[in-house]
Protein backbone atom coordinates (compact mmCIF):
# COMPACT_ATOMS: atom_id res chain seq x y z
CA UNK A 1 0.00 0.00 0.00
CA UNK A 2 1.12 3.41 -0.71
CA UNK A 3 1.70 5.93 2.02
CA UNK A 4 -0.93 8.24 0.53
CA UNK A 5 -3.53 5.52 0.58
CA UNK A 6 -2.61 4.65 4.16
CA UNK A 7 -2.89 8.33 5.09
CA UNK A 8 -6.34 8.59 3.44
CA UNK A 9 -7.50 5.40 5.24
CA UNK A 10 -6.20 6.69 8.60
CA UNK A 11 -7.89 10.07 8.05
CA UNK A 12 -11.11 8.29 6.98
CA UNK A 13 -11.01 6.07 10.07
CA UNK A 14 -10.39 9.14 12.29
CA UNK A 15 -13.28 10.99 10.63
CA UNK A 16 -15.54 7.95 11.08
CA UNK A 17 -14.50 7.66 14.74
CA UNK A 18 -15.11 11.40 15.33
CA UNK A 19 -18.50 11.25 13.62
CA UNK A 20 -19.39 8.10 15.55
CA UNK A 21 -18.45 9.79 18.85
CA UNK A 22 -20.45 12.91 17.90
CA UNK A 23 -23.37 10.72 16.79
CA UNK A 24 -23.39 8.84 20.11
CA UNK A 25 -23.17 12.16 22.03
CA UNK A 26 -26.16 13.49 20.06
CA UNK A 27 -28.10 10.26 20.69
CA UNK A 28 -27.21 10.51 24.39
CA UNK A 29 -28.56 14.07 24.59
CA UNK A 30 -31.71 13.04 22.70
CA UNK A 31 -32.24 10.08 25.05
CA UNK A 32 -31.79 12.38 28.06
CA UNK A 33 -34.38 14.74 26.61
CA UNK A 34 -36.77 11.88 25.92
CA UNK A 35 -36.26 10.57 29.47
CA UNK A 36 -37.01 14.02 30.93
CA UNK A 37 -40.17 14.31 28.82
CA UNK A 38 -41.29 10.83 29.90
CA UNK A 39 -40.71 11.73 33.55
CA UNK A 40 -42.76 14.90 33.13
CA UNK A 41 -45.53 12.96 31.33
CA UNK A 42 -45.56 10.33 34.08
CA UNK A 43 -45.90 13.07 36.69
CA UNK A 44 -48.77 14.63 34.76
CA UNK A 45 -50.55 11.29 34.54
CA UNK A 46 -50.09 10.74 38.28
CA UNK A 47 -51.66 14.14 39.02
CA UNK A 48 -54.52 13.40 36.59
CA UNK A 49 -55.20 10.02 38.22
CA UNK A 50 -55.20 11.65 41.67
CA UNK A 51 -57.62 14.37 40.48
CA UNK A 52 -59.92 11.81 38.88
CA UNK A 53 -59.95 9.85 42.14
CA UNK A 54 -60.95 12.98 44.07
CA UNK A 55 -63.68 13.80 41.53
CA UNK A 56 -65.00 10.25 41.78
CA UNK A 57 -65.05 10.44 45.57
CA UNK A 58 -66.89 13.78 45.52
CA UNK A 59 -69.37 12.48 42.93
CA UNK A 60 -70.15 9.44 45.09
CA UNK A 61 -70.65 11.68 48.12
CA UNK A 62 -72.93 14.00 46.14
CA UNK A 63 -75.01 11.09 44.85
CA UNK A 64 -75.42 9.74 48.38
CA UNK A 65 -76.61 13.17 49.55
CA UNK A 66 -79.07 13.35 46.63
CA UNK A 67 -80.39 9.88 47.50
CA UNK A 68 -80.82 10.88 51.14
CA UNK A 69 -82.62 14.10 50.15
CA UNK A 70 -84.92 12.19 47.80
CA UNK A 71 -85.84 9.74 50.56
CA UNK A 72 -86.57 12.62 52.97
CA UNK A 73 -88.68 14.35 50.29
CA UNK A 74 -90.73 11.17 49.77
CA UNK A 75 -91.27 10.84 53.53
CA UNK A 76 -92.41 14.48 53.81
CA UNK A 77 -94.73 14.04 50.82
CA UNK A 78 -96.25 10.92 52.39
CA UNK A 79 -96.79 12.80 55.68
CA UNK A 80 -98.50 15.66 53.83
CA UNK A 81 -100.77 13.20 51.99
CA UNK A 82 -101.72 11.55 55.28
CA UNK A 83 -102.51 14.93 56.87
CA UNK A 84 -104.63 15.90 53.86
CA UNK A 85 -106.55 12.63 54.19
CA UNK A 86 -107.09 13.38 57.90
CA UNK A 87 -108.33 16.91 57.21
CA UNK A 88 -110.56 15.65 54.39
CA UNK A 89 -111.96 12.99 56.71
CA UNK A 90 -112.73 15.72 59.26
CA UNK A 91 -114.70 17.82 56.77
CA UNK A 92 -116.58 14.93 55.10
CA UNK A 93 -119.28 14.70 57.85
CA UNK A 94 -119.71 18.49 57.77
CA UNK A 95 -120.15 18.44 54.00
CA UNK A 96 -122.66 15.58 54.36
CA UNK A 97 -124.58 17.60 56.98
CA UNK A 98 -124.69 20.70 54.76
CA UNK A 99 -125.93 18.59 51.83
CA UNK A 100 -128.62 16.92 53.99
CA UNK A 101 -129.82 20.30 55.33
CA UNK A 102 -129.88 21.73 51.80
CA UNK A 103 -131.91 18.75 50.53
CA UNK A 104 -134.46 19.12 53.34
CA UNK A 105 -134.70 22.92 53.35
CA UNK A 106 -134.56 23.53 49.61
CA UNK A 107 -137.99 22.10 48.54
CA UNK A 108 -140.03 24.00 51.17
CA UNK A 109 -138.09 27.21 50.46
CA UNK A 110 -138.75 26.79 46.74
CA UNK A 111 -142.46 26.18 47.40
CA UNK A 112 -142.61 29.23 49.67
CA UNK A 113 -140.81 31.31 47.06
CA UNK A 114 -143.33 30.21 44.44
CA UNK A 115 -146.24 31.03 46.77
CA UNK A 116 -144.80 34.46 47.64
CA UNK A 117 -144.24 35.17 43.97
CA UNK A 118 -147.84 34.13 43.13
CA UNK A 119 -149.22 36.20 46.02
CA UNK A 120 -147.13 39.20 44.93
CA UNK A 121 -148.45 38.90 41.38
CA UNK A 122 -152.01 38.58 42.66
CA UNK A 123 -151.64 41.67 44.86
CA UNK A 124 -150.13 43.63 41.98
CA UNK A 125 -152.99 42.60 39.69
CA UNK A 126 -155.57 43.55 42.37
CA UNK A 127 -153.91 46.93 42.99
CA UNK A 128 -153.79 47.60 39.26
CA UNK A 129 -157.53 46.81 38.94
CA UNK A 130 -158.42 49.01 41.87
CA UNK A 131 -156.33 51.89 40.65
CA UNK A 132 -158.12 51.93 37.28
The DSSP string of 86-97 is: HHHHHHHHHHHH
Alpha carbon dihedral 35, 39, 45, 51, in 10-degree steps, equals -170
pTM above 0.85, yes or no: no
CA distance 84 to 45: 58
Could you report the per-residue pLDDT of 35-70, keeping only the tens digit for each?
999 999 999 999 999 989 899 999 999 999 999 999
Which regions of 1-132 does DSSP assign to beta strands (E)? Answer: none
Name the band, by pLDDT with cuts 50, 70 and 90, for residue 78: very high
Amino acid sequence: MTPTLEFVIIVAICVIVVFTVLFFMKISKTLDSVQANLDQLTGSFAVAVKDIGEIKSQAVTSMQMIDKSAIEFIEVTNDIQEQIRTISGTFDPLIGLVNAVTERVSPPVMQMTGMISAASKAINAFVNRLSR
